[in-house]
Amino acid sequence: METTVLGVLRKACDLVGSGQSLGIIEAISSLRAEASGRTRDLAYYAVLETAMVSRGDASLAMLAGDQKEPAIELLRSTIRRLMSALH
């Protein structure tokens, strides 16, 4: 069974939180075996959309950055935003 966008985001959050990945892009990219390229792309776009809505200064550099706490918060915010859209 293939992982969903929410599943990718949750796993990426775990990877960043545990220090196994330094940033959001690295974490999502590392899930190649678990999710299709399309699903991973949708996860990237969801994170970018959350960043643009909440901060207005989203960039690929921010997603690739190695600041653990902001990356975790952005991933969690994205998960919350998607979950609220589902309910």
37-76 pLDDT, tens digit each: 999 999 999 998 998 887 655 555 666 667 788 889 899 9
Q: How many domains, the chain?
A: 1
Residue 17 belongs to what domain range? 5-86
Classify residue 56 as exposed, middle or buried by CB count within 10 Å of its CB (0-12, 13-18, 19+): exposed
DSSP 18-52: HTS-SSHHHHHHTTTTTS-HHHHHHHHHHHHHHHH
Which pTM was predicted?
Answer: 0.86
Per-residue pLDDT reduced to its tens digit, 3-40: 899 999 999 999 999 999 989 999 999 999 999 999 99
Average predicted confidence (pLDDT) for the chain: 87
